[in-house]
Amino acid sequence: MSDKAKIIKVKKNSQGDITDVMSDNGNVYSIDEAVMMARDGVFEGVNVGKAKNGREYLRSNPNGNENDNLDNMPIF
């Protein structure tokens, strides 16, 4: 079993962008904090992507299961 945290819920702004994430231990992190943490390997199942404008963002690791994509996670 992994000791890494899992992202289980997300918060979105009015444009539908993810602004915050909640881990399985109940902690809430801003998306910027979560990107840094993912870069450090804190979260299981996500990686850091880079948009064309250079902005980094979180994305789920590809696995063929759309249910665990960050955009499809429950909202808090």
Query: Sorting pLDDT into bands at 50, 70 and 90, what band is 1?
Result: low
Whole-model pTM: value is: 0.88
Q: Which pLDDT score, from 0 to 100, does residue 51 have?
A: 92
The arithmetic mean of pLDDT across residues 57-76, rounded, is 89
* pLDDT tens digit sequence for 11-66: 999 999 999 999 999 999 999 999 999 999 999 999 999 999 999 999 999 888 88
> Are the beta carbons of 38 and 18 closer than 8 angstroms?
no
